[in-house]
Structure 1
Amino acid sequence: MSFRDESEEQKKPFLHTGSWYRMGSRQSSIMGSSAQIIRDGSISVLFCVLIVALGPIQFGFTCGYSSPTQAEIVKDLQLSVSEFSVFGSLSNVGAMIGAIASGQISEYIGRKGSLMIAAIPNIIGWLAISFAKDVSFLYMGRLLEGFGVGIISYTVPVYIAEISPQNMRGSLGSVNQLAVTTGIMLAYLLGLFVNWRILAVLGILPCTILIPGLFFIPESPRWLAKMGMTEEFEASLQVLRGFDTDISIEVNEIKRSVASTSKRTTIRFSDLKRKRYWFPLTIGIGLLVLQQLSGINGVFFYSSNIFESAGLSSSNVATLGLGVIQVLATGITTWLVDKAGRKLLLIISSTGMTLSLLLVAIAFYLEDLVSEDSSIFGILSLVGLVALVISFSLGVGAIPWLIMSEILPVNIKGLAGSIATLANWLTSWAITMTANLLLTWSSGGTFTIYTLVSAFTVVFVSLWVPETKGRTLEEIQSSFR
């Protein structure tokens, strides 16, 4: 039944949206006055993206929280350095658990339901940290936060990709990473003014706004189509594209894409041996693993040491400056990605990272060779680090998540997305845990390893990553057959 053909008086409950739709004659009511907000399709999609972007802001806040609070937490709770290191790393452990569950949760209860589930442990985790009297509450809170972040890191890019029109999908998809960097910057900024307990309470805000916000946005139309909810699927798509838009062509494309998929279809690991599945999965995993193998998280974790070697008196302020630079560079990516294309930006980004890491490596080698102290080597390291953050933010930071959400076929997206997200978090944990040991062994050698990985990323992208700009999700996924 067409969305436009239903009678004026007919009402249908819109499953998983918490809203009611009145069908016919281009009229709809979404929680009362919300219909006026989403009358235009682009405004509707933007509104949805801004709501779900609260999840990545929470993600970034969790990542940035430990940096400005380390000294206070260690002092107040009398922790050892190793105990605080465990506290910091537990978010990665929780995220790995969340990543394993994210795909299946998202498939069974929808993208919105997944975000609702992710928000709850985040809120509980922040409360546990804010009231912590010993390490047990700190550890429990950090683990819960990580679990929620693991679900968010998969679900938000997928939801944005599935609701966005093809000409806006790149820019809107990049909002995910922009929100993450904004969350990191906010943690750095607020950490300069409030103590660690208050900062933990402030960490609750994104998810407490996200939960009610989810009731005002529609579920992913592609998920609804996959689950066989035809009327709800068409209603959701009509809301997202605007009530004056003819959606019949897009409806038919999506229906053809999911025609062979039943909501009861069980996808097994053995099915991933087929090229239409293993090739996009390999690309998705490859990009997300290489993103972390570049050492970016290790660099961020030890950036204060590099700032101090450059002679900067306030490493916290300098770290905040680095966060601001990252937000600005990611904002540029959001603007460029639908104009320049994903592949070109990835090549430029990974090339810039290679040169930046090489500069830092050379600075450390020269520092070891020259016996006398010189601030010039610290300045070179600082320049290389800033260039690294800018280069990372221009592509490698945001685009792997975007491409992963675009290329995975809808019927394996839950399983394959969980695998790719788990690979990313596992690699992130490994880099964070080994960076300190590697830097102790040889700073120049460490950055040389990261340089080689970034150079390989240039080759990987050039040879295997497809350009997805200007193509529908159905066109992208059918190209792998």
Structure 2
Amino acid sequence: MSFREESDEGSGRGDLRKPFLHTGSWYRMGSRQSSLMGSSQAIRDSSISVLACVLIVALGPIQFGFTCGYTSPTQTALSHDLKLTVSQFSVFGSLSNVGAMVGAIASGQIAEYMGRKGCLMIAAIPNIIGWLAISFARDFSFLYMGRLLEGFGVGIISYVVPVYIAEIAPQNLRGGLGSVNQLSVTIGIMLAYLLGIFVSWRVLAVLGILPCLILIPALFFIPESPRWLAKMGMTEEFEASLQVLRGFDTDITVEVNEIKRSVASTSRRTGAIRFADLKLRRYWLPLMIGIGLLVLQQLSGVNGVIFYSTTIFESAGITSSNAATVGLGAVQVIATAVATWLMDKTGRRILLIVSSSGMAVSLLLVAVSFFLKGFVEKDSTIYGVLGILSVVGVVGMLLFFSLGMGPIPWLIMSEILPIKIKGLAGSLATLLNWFISWVITMTAPLLLAWSSGGAFTLYTVVCVFTVAFVAIWVPETKGKTLEEIQTSFR
């Protein structure tokens, strides 16, 4: 695949409104404004265009979060209505991880052949069918089928949304916009917690359909990823898509040439990626960093902490578990929103180090609290104080997780993977993330039954290791184009 160097007139950039019909742009057809408009106006137009695209695809992560949060408020009523045992409900909850692993395997190839928008449309369909199956379920078979379908769609969404956002965002906004992915996940979780207090589990399943029902038609009004179009050799569509995203009055010549050179350089190597190619530093290093961050994200035990939070709250004298759970969801949303604001100001590495360090201290506080509880009387004042300290540790752990280790690994993965291996490597990284998530979810009850203090100590050690991993291996990507990031690995 090669790209011809074209002038503005030869490339069709002078008449962009015709190609816009193929990009799904909502911009009206009219005469171009004067080229004398200031650069600040062009930047503002670009920010609005990209933000609108991000807000639309963010419906996918909201669906992701809603799926994760659905089981918490519905466990008692759903188990009672369908006469499920504890083990049957546990299987129901974990099947989303199994489905997500299958979706992760398929996500990279679907995104490469169908495009980022097409991949999201495909992901939305099993989610809708899965929620309908759960809402009409009369026994566990329909529940299981629906949960697997939801997980399959979520596995695809978890890969393609960060990639799409990273590929359309300008370099000065990519960190904040990339964090919208995780922010939307936390909003989806909190919505499931909150709505689950007021509606039945069947109605809550029906409400779970709404994000995807809105997402599918909305995708027709946003442009495809210009980098994917460039890779596929669709030169005119690629330039038209980029012009939509950057604004009509923005000169995109430099960015167009950078993307063309990057794609042409990639295509001059072998046509298809082979596992032998992964021995090259420009491939194995970003792959190791991307996989490492996503695996460490789950090994931190965040799912185990959330699983045990109700017991910790009860030990501290907090009787309303539903209110406490909603409160935890609100903490995650607020902390992730702060991370979104800080991402392009402080950088990725410093936030990851602060996040991992804060998680280690918080988890150590929980571990020490549980160890000391074994040496004091349950009715004593000290026991109550230790319970409060464990609650502070749990809240602190989730706050620091949302500040960095929640959103940034997905953002880093979408930024550093070279376009040639993005499909294969992205699928592998997403698959391992979901597999470790499933392992932690399944082993957390066993570890906590063995020793609560010991379990949280293990999670603390992982967070300390994460600090070292980030300090040694993870590069700072703030303010760099995707092409500059990939060049730095060669």
TM-score normalised by length of structure 1: 0.95
> Which sections of structure 2, spanning at least 5 residues, go unmatched?
1-5, 34-42
1:258 CA drift (Å)? 0.5
Between 454-463 and 363-372, the greater mean CA deviation after superposition: 363-372
Give distance in 1, aligned partners of 2:487 and 2:274. 20
Matched, 1:407 2:416: yes
Aligned twin of 1:133: 138
1:303 CA drift (Å)? 1.2
Give distance in 2, aligned partners of 1:303 and 1:83. 22
Between 261-270 and 197-206, the greater mean CA deviation after superposition: 261-270
Alpha-carbon contact 2:20-2:240 (below 8 Å) kept = no
Alpha-carbon contact 1:349-1:394 (below 8 Å) kept = yes
Deviations 1:129-154 (Å, cap 9, x if unpaired)? Answer: 00000000000000000000000000
Aligned twin of 1:30: none
Give distance in 1, aligned partners of 2:65 and 2:446. 25
Aligned twin of 2:458: 449
Give distance in 2, aligned partners of 1:278 and 1:22. 45
Deviations 1:312-353 (Å, cap 9, x if unpaired)? Answer: 111011000000011000000000010000000000000000
- 1:326 pairs with one of 326, 332, 357: 332
Alpha-carbon contact 2:104-2:430 (below 8 Å) kept = yes
Deviations 1:432-466 (Å, cap 9, x if unpaired)? Answer: 00000000000000000000000000000001000
- 2:214 pairs with one of 201, 209, 212: 209
Alpha-carbon contact 1:39-1:243 (below 8 Å) kept = no
1:372 CA drift (Å)? 3.6
- 2:228 pairs with one of 223, 231, 234: 223
Deviations 1:222-242 (Å, cap 9, x if unpaired)? Answer: 000011111100000000000
1:269 CA drift (Å)? 1.9
Alignment RMSD (CA, Å): 1.9
Between 361-370 and 349-358, the greater mean CA deviation after superposition: 361-370
Equivalent AA in structure 2 for residue 192 of structure 1: I
Alpha-carbon contact 1:12-1:22 (below 8 Å) kept = no
Deviations 1:37-81 (Å, cap 9, x if unpaired)? Answer: x99211100000000000000000000000000000000000000
Give distance in 2, aligned partners of 1:210 and 1:269. 35
Equivalent AA in structure 2 for residue 361 of structure 1: A
The 1:384–1:255 alpha-carbon spacing in structure 2 relative to 1, beyond 3 Å, is same
Deviations 1:396-431 (Å, cap 9, x if unpaired)? Answer: 000000000000001110000001101100000000
Alpha-carbon contact 2:361-2:460 (below 8 Å) kept = yes
- 1:181 pairs with one of 174, 183, 186: 186
**Residue correspondence of structure 1 range 17-416 to structure 2 within 5 A:** 17-18=23-24, 26=32, 40-262=45-267, 265-373=271-379, 374-416=383-425
The number of residue pairs the alignment matches comes to: 470
SS in 1 for 2:489: coil
Alpha-carbon contact 1:14-1:21 (below 8 Å) kept = no
Give distance in 2, aligned partners of 1:2 and 1:221. 18
**Residue correspondence of structure 1 range 456-467 to structure 2 within 5 A:** 456-467=465-476
The 1:149–1:269 alpha-carbon spacing in structure 2 relative to 1, beyond 3 Å, is same
Equivalent AA in structure 1 for residue 241 of structure 2: S
The 1:49–1:3 alpha-carbon spacing in structure 2 relative to 1, beyond 3 Å, is farther
Give distance in 2, aligned partners of 1:389 and 1:86. 25
The 1:237–1:4 alpha-carbon spacing in structure 2 relative to 1, beyond 3 Å, is farther
Alpha-carbon contact 1:238-1:245 (below 8 Å) kept = yes
Aligned twin of 1:472: 481
Equivalent AA in structure 1 for residue 322 of structure 2: N
The 1:452–1:217 alpha-carbon spacing in structure 2 relative to 1, beyond 3 Å, is same
The 1:440–1:20 alpha-carbon spacing in structure 2 relative to 1, beyond 3 Å, is closer
Matched, 1:418 2:427: yes
> Which sections of structure 1, spanning at least 5 residues, go unmatched?
28-37
Identity %, equivalent residues: 76
Alpha-carbon contact 2:338-2:403 (below 8 Å) kept = yes
Deviations 1:122-173 (Å, cap 9, x if unpaired)? Answer: 0000000000000000000000000000000000000000000000000000
Alpha-carbon contact 2:16-2:240 (below 8 Å) kept = no
Give distance in 1, aligned partners of 2:16 and 2:74. 57
Give distance in 1, aligned partners of 2:464 and 2:421. 31
Deviations 1:173-231 (Å, cap 9, x if unpaired)? Answer: 00000000000000000001001000000000000000001000000000000111111
The 1:160–1:303 alpha-carbon spacing in structure 2 relative to 1, beyond 3 Å, is same
Equivalent AA in structure 2 for residue 340 of structure 1: T
The 1:52–1:9 alpha-carbon spacing in structure 2 relative to 1, beyond 3 Å, is closer
Matched, 1:11 2:15: no
1:305 CA drift (Å)? 1.1
Alpha-carbon contact 1:11-1:20 (below 8 Å) kept = no
Alpha-carbon contact 2:107-2:160 (below 8 Å) kept = yes
The 1:23–1:227 alpha-carbon spacing in structure 2 relative to 1, beyond 3 Å, is farther
The 1:39–1:402 alpha-carbon spacing in structure 2 relative to 1, beyond 3 Å, is closer
Give distance in 2, aligned partners of 1:345 and 1:160. 20
Give distance in 2, aligned partners of 1:480 and 1:277. 8
Alpha-carbon contact 1:97-1:147 (below 8 Å) kept = yes
Give distance in 2, aligned partners of 1:9 and 1:249. 17
1:267 CA drift (Å)? 1.2
Alpha-carbon contact 1:129-1:141 (below 8 Å) kept = yes
SS in 2 for 1:471: coil
SS in 2 for 1:132: coil
Between 268-277 and 118-127, the greater mean CA deviation after superposition: 268-277
The 1:3–1:143 alpha-carbon spacing in structure 2 relative to 1, beyond 3 Å, is farther
Aligned twin of 1:32: none
Alpha-carbon contact 1:221-1:234 (below 8 Å) kept = yes
Aligned twin of 1:34: none
1:265 CA drift (Å)? 2.5
1:2 CA drift (Å)? 4.8
Alpha-carbon contact 1:3-1:235 (below 8 Å) kept = no
Equivalent AA in structure 1 for residue 479 of structure 2: G
